[in-house]
Amino acid sequence: MNVEQQANAEQIALWNGAAGQGWVDAQESLDRVLEPFQHRIVEAVAARRPQSVLDVGCGTGTTTLAVARLLAKRGSAVGVDISEPMIALARARAEREKAPPRFICADAQTHAFEPASFDMIVSRFGTMFFDDSVRAFENLRRAAAKGAGLAVIVWRSAAENPFMTTAERAAAPFLPDMPARRPDEPGQFAFADRGRVYAILEKSGWSDIDIRPLDVECTLPLAELTTYLSKVGPASRAIQGLDERFHARVIETVRAAFDPFVHGTEVRFVAACWTVSARND
């Protein structure tokens, strides 16, 4: 592993292992849950009318594909992610498109993008995983053309997103060695602090920084909840390797903890996020 890879080694290992494969396995369910945010990103792109868009932390490519469809007649989209299994699925999905985007398997924190090659950079929950966020956003700004816009969505705090931590809390009595989340570490809630996000963007040279709260109701078919719980998140990774009977007991307990979110045949929760925009001057 070279020096550039070592900069984000923990996240590279995570997303090329169980976490990345879990997202691949649950791709359709996750797309349904996160669909409102995909629409937000596409609307932001449509408002700026760029010709070249970079989607950071693109995962299995859903948002990149949607942006590419929007730009089909006038531009192009590129998705970047460190996860080989997710990029493999994104490329397979792109093969079915009339105007397919291009996908790069690389760490956006260190990848040598062509300078000034994108006039908009977007991300749907893909920018919270850098171990050096200032360095990452400096690198992205170098890839941005003069006047290019930045439009990303990130999670607010764990306390404001109880759905996202219910599985961990319910599984904790069975899994005492499950790692606890640490404030500001790379991960889902790394950008919970608005002031910290503003400082990162300011230090990395972005201007016209605007950070606003966004609360969105998300839904998931109840029939898909157990699969979702067993594939996505720290608790899902912690129960891998348990014997079949104990695994079933943990899943049953975790599933019951989600009853407050069940409404008929749907699971519903409010996602508390920040919308972040900026410009490269």
pLDDT above 90 for 189: yes
- The C-alpha atoms of residue 115 and residue 142 are separated, in whole angstroms, by 5
Q: Is residue 40 part of a domain?
A: yes
- Tell me how crowded residue 207 is: count the other CB atoms within 10 A of its CB: 12
Q: Is residue 231 part of a domain?
A: no
pLDDT above 60 for 2: no
Q: What are the tens digits of pLDDT across the range 4-15?
A: 445 688 889 989
pLDDT score of 1: 37
Q: Is residue 261 part of a domain?
A: no
- 6 neighbors 109 (Cβ within 8 angstroms): no
pLDDT score of 230: 83
Query: Which of these ranges, 148-152, 192-196, 246-250, has the smallest mean pLDDT?
Result: 246-250
Q: Using N-to-C axis directions, what is the helix angle for 18-25 and 27-48, rounded to 10°? A: 90
Name the token pair of 251. Answer: 């899943």
The total number of residues written for the chain in this structure: 281
Q: Is residue 35 part of a domain?
A: yes
Q: What are the tens digits of pLDDT across the range 50-83?
A: 999 999 999 999 999 999 999 998 899 999 999 9
Q: Is residue 244 part of a domain?
A: no
- Tell me how crowded residue 268 is: count the other CB atoms within 10 A of its CB: 14
pLDDT score of 147: 97
Candidate ranges 12-16, 76-80, 168-172, 184-188; pick with highest mean pLDDT:
76-80
Q: Which one has a higher pLDDT value, 250 or 94?
A: 94
If you average pLDDT over residues 231-246, what whole number do you get?
Answer: 76
How many contiguous H segments (helices) and E segments (strands) does the chain have?
12, 8
Residue 276 phi, psi (nearest 5): -125, 125
> Residue 27 is part of which domain span?
3-158+181-217+271-279
pLDDT score of 263: 97
- The C-alpha atoms of residue 56 and residue 114 are separated, in whole angstroms, by 15
- The C-alpha atoms of residue 234 and residue 180 are separated, in whole angstroms, by 9
pLDDT above 60 for 200: yes
Cα atoms in the 13 Å half-sphere on the side-chain side of 81: 30
**How many domains, the chain?**
1
Q: Is residue 256 part of a domain?
A: no
- The C-alpha atoms of residue 25 and residue 38 are separated, in whole angstroms, by 19
pLDDT above 90 for 177: no
If you average pLDDT over residues 246-260, what whole number do you get?
Answer: 89
- 149 neighbors 278 (Cβ within 8 angstroms): yes
Q: How far is CA 165 from the centre of its chain?
A: 16
If you average pLDDT over residues 105-122, what whole number do you get?
Answer: 97
If you average pLDDT over residues 222-250, what whole number do you get?
Answer: 81
Mean pLDDT over all residues of the chain? Answer: 92
pLDDT score of 3: 41
Residue 155 pLDDT class (50, 70, 90 cuts)? very high
**Which CATH number fits the domain that encloses residue 47?**
3.40.50.150
Which residues sit opposite 278 in a β-bridge? Answer: 150
Q: Is residue 247 part of a domain?
A: no
Q: Is residue 242 part of a domain?
A: no
Residue 162 pLDDT class (50, 70, 90 cuts)? very high
- The C-alpha atoms of residue 41 and residue 128 are separated, in whole angstroms, by 16
Q: Which amino acid is at 174?
A: F
